[in-house]
Structure formats: structure tokens, C-alpha cells
Structure 1
Amino acid sequence: MAPAVGPWAPRLWRACNALMAAFFALAAVVQVNDPDAELWVVVYMIPAVLTLLVGFNPLVTGNFIWKSVSAIHMLFCVLWAGGLGYHFLLHAKQSILNEEEGRELSGLVIVTAWMALCHSSSK
């Protein structure tokens, strides 16, 4: 039996997705000073667009194309985060947030976590 949700739940979910879409878009825009900015713009714009689509229509998460793009992007982010995490464990000299790899790892974790939440929302 599914848990009962209030009439405000769909609006809240749409608002959260709109907020996260704006967050990912802003994260993409601020990459201009990064030496590999093109890569990071793509990493953040894909979830910005996917999340914006969820904000417009939460049922899009059941669409095959949406699911495929999000799953491939999550796999890419998880593999990259694993590589960065391994590199960080071997070579860290400071706090994770003081190192470029640590900030990149944090971004990949946020992207993966939100996309996984959206992905599971279709159930």
C-alpha cells in the first residue's frame, strides 16, 4: 500500500526540481574560469535540463529516453567520482573542500544523488 501524500506534495516536488535545475544551471555558468570548463558545463547542464523537465512534468521520469539519459549520466558521474575519490585518498594534503578534486567530487555526488532521487521518483 502506497503512503498517503498531501495535495501539496506534487507542487513541492515541482518546486524542488525547479530549484535544483536553477542550481545546476548556475553551477554550469560559473565554470568559465575552470581549465576544463567545457566538460563541467556538460556535467551540470545535463541534470539541469533533466531536472527542469521533471519540474514541468514529473511523469517524464517514466519516459525511456529520460531514464536512459539520466542512467548513463549517473553511471558516468559515479565512475568519475570513484576515480576522484581514489585519487584524493592517495594524494590529499588538506581538507577535501580545499582541493580542486574535492570540490569536483562534491559536485559529482550532488548530481548523482539528485538524479537518483528523480530516477526513483517514477516508482
Structure 2
Amino acid sequence: MAPMAGRGAAGLWRGCNLLMAAFFALAAVVQVNDPDAELWMAVYTIPAVMTLLVGLNPLVTGNCIWKSVSAIHIFFCVIWAISLAYHLFLHIQQNILHEEEGRELCGLVIITVWMSLCHSSSKNPVGGRTQLVIATAIALFPLISWVYIYVNKEMRSSWPTHCKTVI
């Protein structure tokens, strides 16, 4: 019974990583008409590639290059998220998702949390039950949120044009 549960857990972990790789790749693609598209495409492409690698081979998180790149990316995302949060604290006018910086902050938080989860999985590539529950919730959250926001046209009404014209 345990080996089957282990394979199920490994499959779930890989599936969550593949789902997040798809999310990060889609997030990179929709940046195409953003004023600072190149920057945001890189911010999302790095975790897309790294998460895809984890989905294909969970043991990659033990690789020195993978660990270094993820740690550096996490560090920069955290610093940037802190600066955006401070800016929002001082200037927020409406709901966080109606503010460009709020959406950027949410993206950076998702990247940071997911990459940290992957980074910590190097000791146990499949993770424990708690890690799998958290991974599943995180993997489903951005995609469900994206669908909700896409369907809810009223929510997008105050967004800048470049946010309305993609997908």
C-alpha cells in the first residue's frame, strides 16, 4: 500500500509542478503588451522553466545550479515584492487587484511561495502530506483566480488598456 501511495504523491507533486509551469508560462506570454514586458516576461519565464524541470524530474531541486538560480530569483522577487507592498501601503486607491502594482505584487508572491516550496523539496522531492496539500492549493489558486478575473468583466473595467487586451 505504501509504494502506491508514494507513487500517487510523486505524481501529484509532478502534476502540481507541471500546472504551475503552465501558469508561469502563460503569465509570461500575457506580458507581451505591458510597458515593461521584457522584465516581466523574464520574471515569469525563469520559474516556468525551473518548475517544468521539477515536474519532469523532482530530484533536480538537489542540483547546485537549480538551487542557486532559484535562491537568487526568490531573493529578487522578495525584495521587489517588499518595495511594491510599501508603495501600495502608501498609495493604494482601490482593491489591490485594481492596482497595477497590486497585480504585480500578487504575481511576485505566487512566484516566491512556489519557488520556495520547490526549493525546500530538495530534501524530500515528493514532500510530505502537508507539502502536497499546500502545493495543490497553490497550483489551483492562480488558475482559478485567472478564470474568475477573466469571466468577471466588471473587475477588469478599471484596468489599463494593456491589461485588458491580452487573452
Same fold (TM over 0.5): yes
Please report how far the alpha carbon of residue 86 of structure 1 lies from its aligned counterpart in structure 2 after TM superposition. 0.2
Supply the RMSD in Å over aligned alpha carbons: 0.8
The 2-side partners of 1:26 and 1:7 are apart by 28
Q: Give the equivalent residue in structure 1 for 2:19.
A: 19
Q: CA deviation at 1:95?
A: 1.0
Provide Cα deviations, 1:95-122, integer angstroms capped at 9, x if missing partner: 1111000000000000000000000111
* SS of equivalent to 1:109: helix
Q: State whether structure 2 residue 113 is matched by structure 1 residue 110.
A: no
Rounded to whole Å, the distance in 2 between the matches of 1:66 and 1:6 is 24
In structure 2, what residue type is equivalent to 1:12? L
Equivalent position of 1:33 in the other structure: 33
CA shift, 1:33, in A, is 1.5
Provide the rounded CA distance (Å) in 2 between the counterparts of 1:100 and 1:38. Answer: 16
CA distance in 2, matches of 1:64, 1:92: 40
Overall identity of the aligned pairs, in %:
76
Matching residue of 2:91: 91
- Are 2:70 and 1:70 aligned? yes
The TM-score, its normalising length taken from structure 1, stands at: 0.95
Query: Following the alignment from structure 2 to structure 1, what is the Cα–Cα distance between the partners of residues 57 and 6?
Result: 18
Specify the alignment match of 2:143 in structure 1: none
Deviation at 1:32, TM superposition (A): 1.1
**Which residue of the partner structure matches residue 60 of structure 2?**
60
TM-score for both structures, normalised by structure 2: 0.70
Distance 1:42 1:6 in 2: 34
2:49 maps to 49
Compare CA radii of gyration and give the structure with the larger one: 2
1:6 Cα deviation from its structure 2 partner: 3.3
